[in-house]
């Protein structure tokens, strides 16, 4: 099982779009996929469930909020497995190659979880001294280590647009980080900052975890995926690569495949419960971008 966080501290850069489409395409190609929505905005959840379905079927007892909320500083939590759902429309739409798409839904209440977790550790500055530092940071990693999750080939985590506690639990649980970014100069600058924050977290965590290599983490940046590309000319990707090189971080891997902008295709995302890659109204170009991205993802991860 490979755990991948889809992460950028910026909102509106295509994290949820990438997570939903990659997940759906992987499942359609026969992979057993678990998506986890950690963003309180719950856009990933609403890409698969209508608001009233969520309200009636998920909100009462089947969201990641219930799991985080059950975190007790001295005892163990509710099993994460209890929060897993199988969105019906997308699963009915998948090919018969044995794949499936499960989801752990989100809830707006997750914003309060952030505050509680951070406060429980004594605020952001001094938390490394807190005896619960590892336990809290590892909570998602430990939950996903449960045998019940062995049945998945891949777990994709849609992170909130920040680097707070919930995001940190996702990073600690991850083998890889996938970074969607808008294809423009300012966004390439943001990648430097994101990378620095990631390095800081990994060093801090490993410092607390101690010298045992079994206990340390090493989530690697799988790559930056450029989204919402407006193809004004063919040189855009070259230009973006130039920006990245000039910010002195040639070591950040980039996906060859980007996602072009298409307001028509992506505007009604979620309404049908089927991501664009498998939706009937998708244009050939958009479908090409999305499936190429999946193929590149498979090549990079071996999933």
Ligand X SMILES: Nc1ncnc2c1ncn2[C@@H]1O[C@H](COP(=O)(O)OP(=O)(O)O)[C@@H](O)[C@H]1O
Backbone φ and ψ of 280, nearest 5°: -65, -30
Can you tell me the distance from the alpha carbon of 164 to that of 124, in angstroms, rounded to the nearest whole number? 9
Specify which residues 34 forms β-bridges with.
Answer: 102, 155
Which of Mg ion, ligand X, none has residue 227 at its interface (CB below 5 to 8 Å by kind)?
A: ligand X
Q: How far is the CB of 219 from ligand X (least distance, A)?
A: 19
CB of 37 to Mg ion, least distance (A): 8
CA distances (Å), 199 to each of 88, 146, 203, in order?
Answer: 39, 27, 6
The residue within the footprint of Mg ion, chosen from 10, 15, 32, 182 (CB under 5 A), is 15
* Residue 261 site contact among Mg ion, ligand X, none (CB < 5 to 8 Å, cut-off depends on kind): ligand X
63/127 with CB nearer Mg ion: 63
Closest by Cα among 11, 10, 69, 14 to 47: 14
* Beta strand 2-6 pairing with 176-182: parallel
CB nearer to ligand X: give 16 or 282.
Answer: 16
3-class SS letters over 19-39: HHHHHHHHHHCCCEEEEEECC
Does 266 participate in binding ligand X (rule CB under 6 A)?
Answer: yes
291 binds ligand X (CB under 6 A): no
Q: Cα–Cα distance between 49 and 89 in angstroms, integer? A: 9
User: Which of the choices Mg ion, ligand X, none does residue 228 contact, using the CB cut-off of 5 to 8 A by kind?
Assistant: ligand X
14 binds, among ligand X, Mg ion, none (CB under 5 to 8 A by kind): ligand X
Q: Which range, of 41-49, 86-94, 122-130, 280-288, touches Mg ion by CB under 5 A?
A: 41-49
- Number of residues lying near ligand X (CB under 6 A): 16
The strand pair at 176-182 and 220-227 is best described as parallel
Tell me: does residue 12 bind ligand X (CB under 6 A).
Answer: yes
Restricting to residues 42-61, name those near ligand X by CB under 6 A: 43
Piece of 11-19, 71-79, 99-107, 113-121 that binds ligand X (CB under 6 A): 11-19
Residues composing the chain: 303
Q: Which stretch binds ligand X (CB under 6 A): 14-22, 78-86, 111-119, 142-150?
A: 14-22
For residues 17 and 282, which CB has a smaller minimum distance to Mg ion in the complex? 17
Q: Buried (b) or exposed (e) across 59-77, using 16+ Cβ within 10 A?
A: beebbbbbbbbebeeeeeb
Select from 101, 87, 86, 95 the least CA-distant residue to 28: 95
Residues 26-45 that bind ligand X (CB under 6 A): 43
Pairing of strands 176-182, 32-37: unpaired
Neighbours of 166 (CB within 10 A): 25
Q: Which is nearer to ligand X, 264 or 295 (CB)?
A: 264
Q: Report what 162 binds from Mg ion, ligand X, none; CB cut-off 5-8 Å by kind.
A: none
- Of the residues 8, 21, 43, 164, which one makes contact with Mg ion according to CB under 5 A: 43
Q: Measured from the CB atom, is 21 or 169 closer to ligand X?
A: 21
Q: Which residues 183-212 are close enough to bind Mg ion by CB under 5 A?
A: none
How far apart are alpha carbons 277 and 262 in whole angstroms? 13
Among 13, 26, 172, 244, binds ligand X (CB under 6 A): 13
The residues binding ligand X (CB under 6 A) are 11-17, 43, 227-228, 259, 261-263, 266, 269
């Amino acid at each position: 099982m490979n755990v991948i966080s889809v992460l950028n501290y910026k909102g509106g850069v295509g994290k949820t779009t990438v997570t939903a489409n990659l997940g759906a395409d992987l499942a359609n190609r026969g992979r057993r996929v678990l998506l986890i929505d950690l963003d309180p905005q719950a856009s990933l959840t609403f890409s698969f469930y209508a608001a009233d379905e969520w309200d009636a079927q998920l909100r009462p007892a089947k969201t990641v909020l219930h799991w985080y909320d059950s975190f007790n500083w001295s005892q163990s939590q509710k099993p994460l497995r209890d929060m897993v759902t199988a969105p019906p429309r997308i699963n009915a739409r998948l090919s018969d190659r044995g794949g499936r798409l499960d989801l752990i839904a989100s809830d707006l209440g997750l914003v309060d979880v952030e505050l509680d977790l951070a406060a429980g550790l004594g605020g952001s500055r001094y938390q490394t001294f807190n005896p619960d530092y590892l336990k809290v940071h590892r909570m998602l990693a430990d939950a996903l280590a449960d045998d019940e999750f062995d049945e998945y080939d891949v777990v994709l985590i849609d992170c909130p647009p920040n680097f707070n506690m919930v995001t940190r639990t996702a990073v600690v649980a991850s083998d890889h980080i996938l970074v969607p970014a808008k294809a423009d100069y300012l966004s390439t600058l943001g990648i430097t900052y994101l990378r620095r924050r990631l390095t800081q977290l990994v060093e801090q965590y490993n410092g607390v975890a101690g010298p045992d290599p079994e206990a340390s983490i090493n989530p690697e940046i799988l790559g930056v995926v450029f989204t919402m590309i407006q193809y004004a000319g063919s040189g855009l990707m070259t230009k973006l690569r130039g920006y990245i090189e000039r910010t002195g971080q040639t070591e950040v891997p980039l996906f060859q495949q980007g996602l072009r902008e298409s307001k028509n295709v992506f505007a009604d995302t979620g309404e049908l419960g089927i991501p664009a890659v498998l939706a009937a109204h998708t244009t050939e170009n958009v479908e090409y971008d999305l499936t190429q991205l999946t193929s590149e993802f498979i090549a990079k991860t071996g999933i």
